[in-house]
Structure 1
Amino acid sequence: MFIFYLCVHIMLPLCERVIFSLATFSKPWRPFPENNEDILEFLNSYKPQNQEANHLRILFLGPVGAGKSTLINSIDSVLQHRVIVRGLTDAISGKSFTRKYKTYKFSKGSQGHYSFVCNDIMGMEQKDGGVHVEDIKLALRGHVKDDYEFKPQQQLTKSDERYRSCPSLNDRVHVLVTVVPAGSVSILSEEVVKKLRKVRLAAREMDIPQLAILTKVDEACPKAKQDPKNIYKSKYLKEQVEKFSQLLGFSVNCIFLVKNYSSEISIDDDTDAHILCALKQMILHGNDFLTHLND
């Protein structure tokens, strides 16, 4: 009898979660542009409206395994119209596969490069593992040079050859994007949340705009995996957005849902649409920051 009682109380909540993860709204709770070409044209023509900056810099931050490198690969894939794997990833170690500070430019072929770059950084871990919070603050200010190898228990010092003593506006971060798997929002460790919060507060002091991306929506929601058009119809994913908003203080309209290209060998218009929608908002927020620096 006790075993039966125990099984019921374990299985019932699990069944409820499975059923809820399949529930959808009749219409998307957030509409997104279906014409990808309009956003691609915007990105192609974008130039920072600040003469001191020739590009806009986006920094991706998040816990280990959040999909930061895969997100950068996905952005590149959308822009190049084919699946690209430039940022190396690892699905089994449980540790950050990204060890160095890396800037990614995106090619426009004979036209040069897009006027925005993305920076990848070592993932956050519990205790003394992962990227040092103070190193992230230095990166926000532009003090970290490319190829600096992060040391979890030792922050970058002014004597290091990879320390930039006099960063220009080009070197600084213009928009900070926190990346977390949609299915991990409820199980983020208290320690990682505290680290993310510290970085948020530091970025606030620098007036750097902040957005968030919940990745791996296809792993978190069967309906989203079945069809990317269901991503903003999913009741479960909407709940995760609201939970993440309460956890770290982001406004709901600054949190976006994205399916990365991780198993596909070709791109898809509906998957592209979510990536492009989020990317355009990064550019708009970052450009506002650059435009109003002189105010």
Structure 2
Amino acid sequence: MTLLYDAVIQPFVEFAFMQRALSGAVMLSISACPVGVFLTLRRMSLTGDAMAHAILPGAAAGFLLYGLEIVPMTIGGLIAGIIVALGAGVVARLTVQKEDASMAAFYLISLSLGVLMVSLRGSSVDLMHVLFGTVLALNNDALILIGMVCVLTLAALVIFWRALVAECMDPLFLRSVSRLGSPVHFVFLGLVVTNLVAGFQALGTLLAVGLMILPATAARFWTQQVSIMCMMAIAIGLFSSIGGLLLSYHLSLPSGPSIMLSAGVFYLVSVVASPRGLLLSRLPRSAHRAA
């Protein structure tokens, strides 16, 4: 019992930086994981990854002007994300190019531009901070921002839940029976961008999408009900965050990648051992029912 306390509980009790990291990770899990579920149901997981890279130039512009300050980098990231989303949409609608291709082109340009902008003024340490985040160095301002995004996301999900679910299942039907189709789509894209910006504070631009996508894709192997899928994704995100922070603390590993690898373990277990995974889905129906 003492060993368990020392390994799991003591780091969060004794060290304020671990408490802040846990608070930020918990709020990000509650906020970003349900958004990730809708991303996967819409088959837009790679779009989320592209948007995570797209915020980099704006964050880099804030860094060039004000250094590692949260508010300028956040505002810059939001502006850059919106510009890339709108730009990719305009290209897809006014040219022969599909939206996935235009999004890929925009995010590659954004990623390259952002890395160059950070390199102009900052050191390799600053570049690593922007790309991979520092969840163990979250301050009160960052926690307030993450908390505001969490509250905003939960409120939007409650208000637009039925429309979001309907658009995932049959967007053409929703647009035919309601005027909410297009507004809900833009509300959802706004939630994706704001959660990526909030995740950027802790996990950096390259890993912010990981906490959004990995728990959601793991949860999808266990259930087909969207509400249960969202709750399972949040639970996986919470356990991944706790496990990753403990690995980072005890083994002196980078915190962001540790959290992502913990989520990756949950994903691999789900792929193999879940009811819809590799093993049980290939059993004969009689054996599957008996199990």
Place the TM-score, normalised by the shorter chain, in its bin: under 0.3
Structure with greater strand share of residues: 1
Q: TM-score, normalised by structure 2?
A: 0.27
Q: TM-score, normalised by structure 1?
A: 0.27
